Structure 1
Amino acid sequence: MPLAKFETMLKRTMGLDIQSIGRPMLERALQERRGSCGVDDLDAYWLLLQMSEPEQLQLIESVIVPETWFFRNREAFIEMAQLQPQRPLSASQPLRILSLPCSTGEEPYSIAMALLDAGLPPPHFHIDAIDISPQSLDIARQAVYGKNSFRGNFLSFRDRYFALNEQGYALSETVRQQVRFMQSNLFAIDLLAGQAPYDVIFCRNLLIYFDRPTQHQAVTILTQRLAAEGLLFVGPAESALMMQHPLTPLKAPMAFAFRQGAPKQETVKPSAPPAAAIFVPQAPAASLQPLLRSSGVRSTQSRTGAAAETLATLPPQPPLATVQLLADQGKLGEAASLCEQLIQRHGTSAAAYYLLGVIHDAADRRPAAADCYRKALYLEPMHADAMTHLAALLQTQGDAAGARLLQQRARRSTENNPS
């Protein structure tokens, strides 16, 4: 098969499972690069590819489609800022954080802003950010962003850390100096050679592009670079994979966070709360208040006076947080069953169908996941997260045009209907 050698090369260099993006996307990328290089056919382009590392990177640029924005999945940043290591932090022993892949820089810069808002002095933390794409890294180092990098209604961080100029929103030097960018990839032989382990690693929405053996290899590499008791953050569809490794899930809904080390055996297993229970989040640390305000997370630290009145006005909610916790812990069957029970008892809702779709996604039940995302969109046509996840599934099925339309709708939704 003419494409087989290109597929093998991409898997060897970046771990890419071609099924994750679909062969039509690879075919389009090859034709685009062949035309740009002025060669007659794919055989001639293959020979050029073997002799040119820059062209290999150009091909990789053509097949990867980064989708990122500041404080994407805010819960992960809140959890990261709250759960700092037990050891004292100082300029000589700073908190060490890795963001991989870092894309165009929104994630590592969000980490920096979250820690600054939590009151951590700049000398007390350092962030390494790695990506395979030189083009993405150039954008990250310039640190000037357009409006698509800012989504949702909680954008107070933009006023604190960015200045608007003719090119866009320029990030402050205070944040930029906390991040060191490097060009590499997860499977590079010399990746982070000689570097001390990291207290926190963000590796979100990368493993979904690998086949199962490569996924397990990737998790092993990550845990080898994670300090004892260190935290690993992954994407929603990747949490089930973590349970097959010596990692302990944190009880933090929608953060998809895991601590280094196998779960401890519990002598008494707590029973699940009843289906009619109402989830009330735990009070956050006081140092996190600026971040929580900018992220739109309610504090329940005080339940008297005005705070009690506010809580009293909140409508009862079905315990979707319980479903989230089960999913975070890798108990996908239980999570799906409970979510379906909630839909039967409390009626259909976009939030429930979206969450059920994420669970099916994590269990690699893609048709069921797509069905749930579509049901969520039927109930709430501008549900941006459902559109984003459905777009990713369409991409794997080779429907690049459909995926692109959904991504555009999702961007318009977050810009026009901030939440």
Structure 2
Amino acid sequence: MTPGRKLMLLVERMSGIVLPDRELQRLTDWAGKRAAICSFKDTSAYVDALRRNPDSDEWRVLLSRVTVKESSLFRAPQQFKCLSENIIPELVDSGRRSLRIWSAGCARGEEPATLAVVLNECLGGTNVRWSVVGTDVDAEALEAARRARFSRRAVRRVPAESLDRHFTTHAGSYELNSEIRRHIEYGLINLVREPLEVPGQPFDVILLRNVLIYFRKESQARVVRSIEQLLAPDGFLLVGPSESLMHVAPGMKAEERNGVFVYRRRHEEESPPEVVANRKSREPQGSATAPKPLPAETTRFESDGGAKDWVAFAVAGRQAEIEEDLRLALRYYRASLYLQPDSYQVCYRLGLCLEGVGWSGRAEAEFRAVLEILRLGSGKTLAIFQGPEFPTRNEIEAACREATQNDAMS
């Protein structure tokens, strides 16, 4: 086995992160450079040293290399709307006088900063104390998170009033004000290490968004089991809008809140629900059978592939639609949106497919996301979704408005 392949397997064993085969050569080249910098004889010696010393500082350098850090504040805004309008009021109404929220896999701090803004606006002026804990496996990302400075692109989804109120501009960047920042704590946590302990547990809300996609299914189940133990008995767990815990968390139950799926601990007397039959959809009708397995290269969504990969996933999703395999189309479209969240056409196709398999609540959430993308003017277009058989941008916007209005009135 080559040193590069050994390193890929070592990264998975230590962090749970599964790297695609296309990363092998780049990782091998990078490891060779690190071996020279650290005065090792060769790459094999460097990898062996990492294996023997799992707590060495070099692991921090390595994990910083393999983790994805690109994000933005208020990503998936419908989830934060659900927090502010539904979850936080429910927790406060239950008699809580303090709230603790954990952002697991917080990268450079975009998610904890968003949570702090939401909590401040919901609970400011009340006697309810609140705090946010942000953790990540990447020490360099945590250093950036503590600085709480974000680019113009990172804050593009922040409501203008909130941006003016809670951020200060510094030479083109936006810094979260200190009175909010003091409510946020950061810590270096590896989610796959057991036992999993996080200061401040149990938490009222845990966000585990776009983290599990880097793990194999068995690692996903193990991580969720550990996180479940850190959640308050009546707490809420949120994963990414395109993620599901259906097959990895038998101890959790899904609830739909304002078009957003949240997870809660299942009581002993509750059993997992049966799969419901399909409901009628607005557009494509398709198979409700189990999805075909994706090729190994497409079961993991990394952002390092750039624009080419999100387009390829979108093309594959469209082909699956044509073949009436809507569940397979869902997986491809979700992969595409993870790499390029501003593609309103892919987001719309995802919503249609969700309707096609009977998940109307999730479909509505995607239609609302389309409207948000178009409102921000950041929509990316694809030629494969242009032509007489596809709706125009204006027609998509009108259809999404009608769908969300109809769902709101029903």
Gaps of 5+ in 1: 276-317, 324-331, 337-352, 391-412
**2:232 corresponds to:** 227
CA deviations on 1:90-109 (whole Å, 9 max, x unpaired) are: 2xxx1111111111111011
Q: Deviations over 1:71-122 (max 9, x none)?
A: 00011112122213253122xxx11111111111110110111122223548
Instruction: State whether residues 75 and 157 of structure 2, in contact with CA within 8 Å, keep that contact through their aligned partners in structure 1.
Output: no
Between the aligned partners of 1:136 and 1:250, the Cα distance in structure 2 is 32
Say yes or no: does 1:104 pair with 2:133. no
Shift of 1:215: 0.8
TM-score by length of 2: 0.64
Once the 2 structures are TM-superposed, how far is the Cα of residue 193 of structure 1 from its aligned partner? 5.6
Q: Are 1:76 and 1:257, in contact at CA under 8 Å, matched by a contact in 2? A: no
The CA distance in 1 between the partners of 2:196 and 2:95, in whole Å, is: 27
Per-residue CA shift, 1:241-266, capped at 9, x if unaligned? Answer: 46642222121366342122169579
Which among 211, 214, 217 is matched to residue 219 of structure 2?
A: 214
Q: Does the 8 A contact of 2:203 with 2:231 survive in 1? A: yes
Q: Distance in 1 between matches of 2:238 and 2:246?
A: 12
Given that residues 152 and 418 in structure 1 are in contact (C-alpha distance below 8 angstroms), is that contact kept between their aligned partners in structure 2? no
Tell me the equivalent position of 1:66: 69
Query: Which residues in structure 2 correspond to 1:148-159 (within 5 Å)?
Result: 148-152=153-157, 154-159=159-164
From 83, 87, 90, the equivalent of 1:83 is 87
AA aligned opposite 2:46: Y
- Could you tell me how far apart the structure 2 residues matched to 1:10 and 1:27 are? 13
**Secondary structure of 1:228 counterpart:** strand
Distance in 2 separating the partners of 1:135 and 1:371: 31
Give the equivalent residue in structure 1 for 2:59: 56
Q: Which amino acid aligns with 1:109?
A: A
Is the counterpart of residue 333 in structure 1 residue 288 in structure 2?
Answer: yes
RMSD across aligned positions (CA): 4.4
From 142, 148, 167, give the equivalent of 1:137: 142
**2:343 matches 1:383:** yes
How far apart are the structure 1 equivalents of 2:72 and 2:164? 16
**1:179 pairs with 173, 180, 184, which one?**
184
SS at match of 1:239: coil
Aligned residue among 243, 246, 251 for 2:251: 246
Aligned 8 A contact 1:229 1:259 in 2: yes
2:188 and 2:57 map into 1 onto residues whose CA distance is 13
Alignment of 1:15-414 (within 5 A): 15-19=16-20, 22-37=23-38, 39-49=40-50, 50-51=52-53, 53-81=56-84, 82-84=86-88, 85=91, 86-90=93-97, 94-120=98-124, 121=126, 124-152=129-157, 154-166=159-171, 168-189=173-194, 191-192=196-197, 195-241=200-246, 244-252=249-257, 255-261=260-266, 274-275=280-281, 318=282, 333=288, 369-370=331-332, 383=343, 386=346
Query: Which stretch shows the higher mean deviation, 70-79 or 261-270?
Result: 261-270
Q: Give me the whole-angstrom Cα distance separating, in 2, the residues matched to 1:250 and 1:222.
A: 18
Contact residue 20 and residue 210 of structure 1 kept, 8 A: no
Displacement after TM superposition at 1:386 (Å): 4.6
CA contact (8 A) 1:105 1:139 kept: yes
Tell me the alpha carbon deviations over residues 204-256 of structure 1, each in whole angstroms, 9 at most, x when there is no partner. 11111111111110110111111112111112343144664222212136634
Change (3 A) 1:148 1:5: same
1:21-79: CA deviation from partner (whole Å, max 9, x where unpaired): 84345334424433543545211322443457111110111111212110000111121
C-alpha separation in 2, matches of 1:214 and 1:88 = 36
CA deviations over 1:289-321 (Å, ceiling 9, x no partner): xxxxxxxxxxxxxxxxxxxxxxxxxxxxx499x
Asked if the contact 2:242–2:334 (Cα under 8 Å) also holds between the matched residues in 1, the reply is: no
Higher RCO (C-alpha 8 Å, min separation 6)? 1
Label 1:66 to 1:25 Cα distance change in 2 as closer, same or farther (>3 A). Answer: farther
> Are the aligned partners of 2:35 and 2:41 in contact in 1 as well (CA < 8 Å)?
yes
Counterpart secondary structure, 1:68? coil
CA contact 2:237–2:262 (8 Å) conserved in 1: yes
- CA–CA separation in structure 2 for the residues paired with 1:381 and 1:167: 23
Q: Alignment partner of 1:130: what SS?
A: strand
Residue identity in the other structure for 2:288: G
Aligned to 2:116, what secondary structure does the other structure show?
helix
- Aligned to 2:237, the other structure's residue is in SS state strand
The percent identity for this pair of structures is 24
